[in-house]
Structure 1
Amino acid sequence: MTPFKRYYSRTLQFALGLFLMLPQIGMSQEPARPIIQQVEFKKDTLNISNYGAKGNGQFLNTATINQTIRTCSERGGGVVLIPAGIWLTGPIEMQSNVNLHLKRDAVLLFTKDFDQYKLVESNWEGEPAWRNQNPISGKNLSNIAITGDGIIDGSGDAWRMVKKSKLTSSQWKNLVASGGTVDSDAAIWYPSESSLRGSKQKKAGVIRPGTTAEDFKDVKDFLRPNLLVFTNCKKVLIEGVTIQNSPAWNIHPLLCDDLTLRKVSVRNPWYGQNGDGVDVESCKNVLIEDCTFDVGDDGICIKSGRDKAGRERGKPTENVIIRNSVVYHAHGGFVIGSEMSGGARNIWVEDCSFIGTDIGLRFKTTRGRGGIVENIFINNINMVDIPGEAILFDMYYAAVDPVPLAGEKRPAIKSVNIPVTEETPQFKNFYIKNIVAKGASKGIFFRGLPEMHIQNIWIEHATLQANKGIEIIEASQINLKNIVLKTQQSNPLITIENSSDIHLDNIQALDAPEVYVQVAGDKSDNIRLTKSNTSSAKVVSQFIAGSTDKSLTIKN
């Protein structure tokens, strides 16, 4: 079977599976699945070594590689070949109709000389910002690719700050001895004084009226680039390569259409600040398949701009298929947010494994973002050794690591009801099925806003081994069906607070809980627990903080 036929065969199989699933999960009509347009190139091949490049790890090849890419594009496109060798370079600028192809023994190594990266108008965490030029970039291009079996190394260790708490004593001493500087608390190492100064500025580099690059030169080292950024490009392929050691995010497609990531490996140190695997931002028609991520922040992440800037851009990430991928260390395996102010919709995730990610399925936002996240379909996810929640919806994201360090105390969330505005985010219409988690801190966690509940979530056929079971706060129209819970510390097994229209059907506790379900808050209402082994608990139901037994109906 050809790759073309195999792609459409797998797409039809998954579509059929979801179609059969719809009557059970409560959605009458699934959105049309996208067809992602693919790249095509001339066979003409230009070898960078024939244009003066040297793969000895010492010669700076920036000008040579960029000239070869321009020449290829001007001739109508084709392949620019990176042969075996260590090819030291500064920033590379892609051109239309060019496939940058790395041979198996090729290492494209970006220089640690910060002077090679000029400050440019860019984007940082969903807002326009001055940043150091991206090691690989392209803007307003079409029909571009990076392929092969080689390695792209961003030399991110030269750029990133490092927290002492994330290293052993010996590692910390060696890092400090290597140069750079530490903050006044001796808690964070910075590669330079310029980087430290930048850390003390609020939203350093963010473009404001009247500011220029000159205004940020004294903090230039702090303005780390993302490794690979394509902006407003059409028909993009990244296939086969290993992308690693980025100063910040590894792969950042922004405002792109028809994007394919296939068989890509992405690696960053687990302690790397902002070391996301891939952040798909305000893109349309995306396929991510057969990829592997092992990074220092979120693994596979969906974004669409931050706060006012994202709302004004008004471009959601939509029509995305993610399948057959593995995420090892990461803050989240599959993630939406927190910069989702332009919205996200029509996203399918299937047949993925998360091994040791802090959280498995992670959906995060906060007041001020705005944006609507809806029509998310997730099927067949395996998780192992998840330190946090297997499935998390949180509308109080606070930009901290998802799992507190030993001894770390975080303030409790204070629930305050405020008016709904354009700044109010929404999570609704998620359909999640066939989830297995072996080891997690908590199985399922919902935390919505009093003024905007998390709404219409379906989770069906899940087996979750976790310390704690299910917690639902400020949510409505939540449907959990055929859930098996093996818990160690869960008391109660299920907690529901100020939530309504909650249907729990066939919940099975493998370990007898002290309390099966606890209801809290005077706004809790219309909670139904059916066909569940409530008799295994010493106390079936408990009502606190203004709730009454009228809020809960149990039928077995």
Structure 2
Amino acid sequence: MSHQNIKSPRFQNFYIIGVISAFFIFGSLVECRVPSSSKLNNFDYTAINCRKHSAILTDFGAVGDGKTLNTKAFNSAITKLSQYSNDGGALLIVPPGKWLTGSFNLTSHFTLFLQKDAVILGSQDESEWPQLPVLPSYGRGRDAAGGRFSSLIFGTHLTDVIITGNNGTIDGQGSYWWDKLKKDELNLTRPYLIEIMYSDQIQISNLTLINSPSWNVHPIYSSDIIINGLTILAPVDSPNTDGINPDSCTNVRIEDNYIVSGDDCIAIKSGWDQYGIKFGKPSQKIIIRRLTCISPDSAMIALGSEMSGGIQDVRVEDLTAINTESAVRIKSAVGRGGFVKDIFVKGLNLNTMKYVFWMTGSYGQHPDNGFDPKALPNVTGINYSDIMAKNVTIAGQLEGISNDPYTGICMSNVAIEMSNVEKVEKVPKKKLPWNCTDISGVISNVVPQPCELLPEKEKLECPYPSDKLAIESVNFKTCSYKS
């Protein structure tokens, strides 16, 4: 994707914070035991684990001309390196070049490293994308009722897997898939860029991801995950190009990412209606820090809408949104069941937003007609503090569910500067800054004054946990590659 998408007229009036740059630390030697026909300069990188063995993609016949298909080379390399899983693990280096490939699978105790100017290109040949069954917590594909295509980079039942680089690029070439979706020509759900399932000890860092066919990064049924230093870019009108979507995951750390998206920059999920309720695996113990998001038609962070396994203990701090539809949004509906509780948000800097606060109790898509209309979500303990917002159309649109209100909402130290709504398209001239139904909570020092369902309580500070999640204590090691 060219940078024209970011510099288009719809953004020219906005100051856009620069891309988060990755940092690298020097460290220990990696021993090479796989013969290498190629020579690379030495380099250093940070990772949760270093590797004893290494190889270069070109050792396996790969050609980086952007035209030669390299699916077999990736698979051969990873199969070869998997033999070192129990002997210090292995590092596969993708050197500079354009490496066209279909879907390939990772292995345990393995690092995929993209050098600067290395580009992995997703093939637009559907035969290069294996078919997978539907996810058990969803019961069907999201784009089509049948199964789904494997992601470009896929892994399942793994331990200790790292995808990182010196800001190398993964390009999903998603326009092919977006066009098929718009023409209603999909029989299977579009592939994601990176998906890791049933795994633990995952690191995805210091890369640029562009033009994903659908979601960019999707860890699911996994734990102990660090996602940091990513630049994720997609046209703002591209369909469902969510940035980072932890799904039924525990112990997740998402830090220092920059996302321009056609959908939610981050969406936390845990399954869809009766399938998610039955699978019963929540997303919990998640911290999100230092994100910059641009998404004119979606949220900076969405909780749901598929949240039937539950979402709990999410901590959000020090985030920036520019020209984004909403900040931290809760999406649910009758039939979802599950819960969204113990959500803590502080330190948001927002500029040009349709909504600051948005909660929806009628986000009503269902996988099929088998959902239980008596399955009501429990949404409670939602805390916001220290928020500054400028050029806002609607301060709060808070809609719970009749006979199932959203409770325990707390807002403190919030300053919202409203835009001149008379000049905003599709917004009535007398639109109220707050609209509230079926919710309850308290506020303190919030401007403009919220609705009566959120009464003032002086000198209130909404809570934010003082303890640390276990994933916050995980430190990167210092690794080196020597040719």
TM-score by length of 1: 0.67
Structure 2 equivalent of residue 439 of structure 1: 391
Question: Which residue identity is paired with 1:74?
Answer: Q
Verify the 8 A CA contact 2:294 2:324 in the aligned structure 1: yes
Q: Of the candidates 88, 102, 110, which is equivalent to residue 98 of structure 1?
A: 110
Q: Where does residue 156 of structure 1 map in the other structure?
A: 174
Deviations 1:337-371 (A, max 9, x none): 10000011111000010111111121111111011
Contact 1:54–1:61 under 8 Å retained in 2: yes
The DSSP-based 3-state class of the residue aligned with 2:246 is strand
Alpha carbons 1:355, 1:385 under 8 Å: kept: yes
- Supply the distance in 2 between the matched residues of 1:463 and 1:104 (Cα, whole angstroms): 42
Aligned AA for 2:173? S
Alignment-derived partner of residue 325 in structure 2: 358
SS in 2 for 1:315: coil
The one-letter code matched in structure 1 to 2:73 is: T
Which consecutive unaligned segments of at least 5 residues does structure 2 have?
Answer: 1-22, 26-46, 142-146, 367-371, 422-431, 460-483
Specify the alignment match of 2:284 in structure 1: 318
Q: Distance in 2 between matches of 1:438 and 1:53?
A: 50
Q: Structure 2 counterpart of 1:322, which letter?
A: I
Partner residue, 1:455: 407
Show the counterpart of 1:469: 433
Cα gap change, 1:310/1:225 in structure 2, threshold over 3 Å: closer, same or farther?
same
Task: Evaluate the alpha carbon distance shift between residue 153 and residue 80 of structure 1 in structure 2; reply closer, same or farther with a 3 A threshold.
Answer: same
TM-aligned CA distance change 1:42 to 1:422, over 3 Å: farther
1:138 maps to 2:155: yes
- Structure showing the higher helix proportion among its residues: 1
Cα distance per residue 1:433-491 (max 9 Å; x no partner): 00111112211221111211110111000001125422221112x11110122xxxxxx
- Structure 1 residues without counterparts, runs of 5 or longer: 6-37, 162-179, 181-187, 199-218, 401-419, 486-492, 508-556
Tell me which residue corresponds to 1:538: none
| Distance in structure 2 (CA, Å) of the matches to 1:457 and 1:321 | 19
TM-superposed CA distance for 1:52, in Å, is 1.1
How far 1:189 sits from its partner (Å)?
Answer: 4.5
Contact 2:334 2:364 (C-alpha < 8 Å) held by counterparts: no
Task: Verify: 1:237 aligned to 2:203, yes or no.
Answer: yes
Q: Is the 8 A contact 1:125 1:339 kept in 2?
A: no
The answer to whether 1:69 aligns with 2:75 is: no
RMSD: 2.3
Structure 1 residues 342, 472: CA separation in 2 closer, same or farther (over 3 Å shift)?
same
Kindly indicate whether the alpha-carbon contact (under 8 Å) linking 1:41 and 1:97 is maintained by their aligned counterparts in 2: no
Provide the aligned length of Structure 1 versus Structure 2. Answer: 389
8 Å CA contact 1:483, 1:506 repeated in 2: no
Please show how residues 389-408 of structure 1 align to structure 2 within 5 Å: 389-398=355-364
Task: Give yes or no for contact 2:271–2:307 (8 Å, CA) kept in 1.
Answer: yes
How far, CA to CA, are the matches of 1:325 and 1:273 in structure 2?
A: 21
Distance 1:54 1:253, change over 3 A: same
| Equivalent position of 1:341 in the other structure | 308
Quote the offset at 1:44 in angstroms. 2.1
> Counterpart of 2:479?
none
Distance in 1, matches of 2:139 and 2:206, equals: 30
Q: Find the aligned partners of 2:450 and 2:447 in 1 and give their Cα distance.
A: 12
Tell me, yes or no, if the aligned pair for 1:39 and 1:144 is still in contact at 8 Å: no
Per the alignment, in what secondary structure is the counterpart of residue 138 of structure 1? strand
Greater relative contact order: 1 or 2 (C-alpha under 8 angstroms, separation 6 or more)?
2
**Pairwise mapping of residues 321-332 of structure 1 onto structure 2 (< 5 A)?**
321-329=287-295, 331-332=298-299
Q: Give the C-alpha shift of residue 117 in structure 1.
A: 1.5
Partner AA of 1:394 in structure 2: T
Query: Take 1:272 and 1:433, find their aligned partners in 2: how far apart are those partners?
Result: 32
**Could you say which residue in structure 2 is the equivalent of 1:483?**
446
Q: Distance in 1 between matches of 2:389 and 2:178?
A: 32
* 1:523-552 deviation digits (Å, cap 9, x = unpaired): xxxxxxxxxxxxxxxxxxxxxxxxxxxxxx
Which is higher, the Rg of structure 1 or of structure 2?
Answer: 1
Q: Which residue of 2 is the match for residue 206 of structure 1?
A: none
Distance 1:304 1:361 in 2: 17
Deviations 1:379-425 (Å, cap 9, x if unpaired)? 10111111x2111111112469xxxxxxxxxxxxxxxxxxx976101
Query: Matches of residues 224-373 of structure 1 in structure 2 within 5 Å?
Result: 224-329=190-295, 331-373=298-340
Give the % identical residues. 29
